[in-house]
Structure 1
């Protein structure tokens, strides 16, 4: 049985540098707006060279979407890792609620409001977000296509992936609405949980009723 490799001092230093750059970038983006901040500004704020920033983040947009890999792969991973008897809808709900819980524990739910405002104000970020959502849908559709019928049949994988993406957007908007209304983050998390479970279940049921091609 293989053992996890212990990070070296060099690995830890690289991770610390990456984290410092990421935190500096988000601080500036939320204060000034994405388009008003340059990579050189981020390098100065993090006290590193511009090339060091690019060593960790290939583009300025990657500085904003720092958790892109986890975000993009979350639904497909949730579907592939589901337990015996767990439906696709339940797996997707579990993944969404885990992410929401992680944000609450880290104290990032309130920050998500400023994050979304910054994103909405930048055409470059809106375009990149659309690309990430499409990539996310494609990965989920691929995972569903490998699964058992009926969701693996015909156009159902792509349809279910599109439904799941729509559910994500609706839930994200509801979370932000409640936070803006002054509802405590912990209360928001608990109050949306039934909605999360119900909406993904409705999406799966609707997709399952779509007739398979002859």
Structure 2
């Protein structure tokens, strides 16, 4: 078997395992679902599940494209403000997700439903929510650092931190809002992403002006 074919087969198996896990988590609960049940649903050996996903919660966190590493790369290359870079990063990542799914013959609506389901599962479990928040913290630190540099304040000053928390929390909440649930694909969320960034930018500009700071946002 060629390396390319082997990698495709591995990716297909990995995807099938994650699909099976999401189905079971949704129907009977995350904590109530066992690795053996996931393996049976995916028609693979239990060992295969653990080879791909060593920990049970990896089934929900692995392969998320919205990583701190990808955002850091976008921020290093940004020509404008940090908020502009975050907006571009979100749009580019969402477009890439939809293109990947179409190239694989998958329905974007189905993929969006799975991402929304994942978000609901994370919000419903204390431990999963805690792990998710740890990841969000990395994003907040990056955004705060960029905004601090934009407006000439330390990254741990209140205004950069407050804006970063607003941005990351707002983007996270899109998935579980009424407006977000009404969408049929990841890229359909673009207007909601813009709304979150506009809200954060307005707060930053207004507060900065009140404190005698002129944020370099445009």
Equivalent residue number for residue 123 of structure 1: 126
Counterpart CA distance in 2 for 1:156 and 1:203 is 17
Over 3 Å counting, the alpha-carbon distance change for 1:59 and 1:141 in structure 2 is: farther
How large is the RMSD of aligned CA atoms in angstroms?
3.7
CA–CA distance in structure 2, aligned partners of residues 179 and 129 of structure 1: 19
Match of 2:155 in 1: 155
SS at match of 2:41: helix
Question: Cα offset for 1:40?
Answer: 1.6
**1:13 alignment counterpart:** 9
Q: Describe the shift of the 1:184–1:23 C-alpha distance in structure 2 as closer, same or farther (beyond 3 A).
A: closer
Partner of 2:61: 65
Q: CA deviation at 1:60?
A: 0.8
Q: Find the counterpart in structure 2 of residue 178 from structure 1.
A: 179
Could you tell me whether the CA contact under 8 Å between 1:103 and 1:109 is conserved in 2? no
The reply to whether residue 192 of structure 1 matches residue 192 of structure 2 is yes
TM-score by length of 2: 0.70
Tell which deviates more after alignment, 155-164 or 25-34.
155-164
Q: Distance in 1 between matches of 2:187 and 2:77?
A: 28
Q: What is the CA deviation profile of residues 6-57 of structure 1, one whole-angstrom value per residue up to 9, with x for unaligned ones?
A: 9533322222222221222122222222112111211111122222212111
Aligned to 2:168: 168
Match of residue 134 from structure 1: 137
Equivalent residues of 2:144, 2:164 under 8 A apart: no
1:153-177 deviation line (CA, Å, top 9, x unaligned): 5235896366334223224435522
Gaps of 5+ in 1: 1-5
- Give the CA deviation at 1:99: 3.9
| Conserved? CA contact 1:137–1:165, under 8 Å | yes
Aligned pair count reads 201
Q: Kindly tell me: are residues 120 and 132 of structure 1, through their superposed partners in 2, closer, same or farther at Cα, counting changes over 3 Å? A: same
Give the secondary structure class of the aligned counterpart of 1:36.
Answer: coil
Task: Tell me the TM-score normalized by structure 1.
Answer: 0.71
